[in-house]
Amino acid sequence: MTKKLSLLSLGLAGACVILAARAGCAQKWDKTYVQSLPDSAFAAVEELADGRKLRLLPHHDVSGKVDAPHLRSALRLWSRVKWQSPQQGQEVLAHLKAHGAGLCQEGRMSCARSPKPAPRAARPRKTKGRRIGVKRAAAKPPHAKAGA
């Protein structure tokens, strides 16, 4: 009985370590942290007419290392940004995808693969032109009375 308890406690401890590591990897960056990042941490830096900088899609941390959760977020949010020119938007997308490919090769990010085909049981049946589940029309409409 004690052997089972020790194995159970070991398994629970391992699960806690894994969950803590995952939570640590995907920490939310607060506003002050994002403001402290250099311009090179962003996918694009635009200068506005009044001289202010607009820094878009942060995906590098302070050390310059690509952060996988924020890269995924940047790829997801790329289409919502109003780019000054379509060419700039495409250059930014290529930059983000290049980082994604690098992280994919390192094993730090899952790659977008083509979906696997559905298992044989889940595929729809072939019907040879017949429609399954469709009843033939009745001779009389359902609202018609028998004596009419």
Domain segments of the chain as ranges: 10-111
Residues in the chain: 148
HSE on the CB side for 129, CA within 13 Å? 0
DSSP state of 140: S
List, run by run, the mean pLDDT of 10-residue segments along the chain (148 residues).
Answer: 44 39 60 92 91 92 91 92 88 92 81 57 60 58 60
The pLDDT value given to residue 10: 39
**DSSP letter for each residue of 37-52:** S-GGGEEEEEE-TTS-
Q: How far is CA 83 from CA 6, 38, 92, 140, in A?
A: 57, 21, 10, 62
Its pTM stands at 0.56
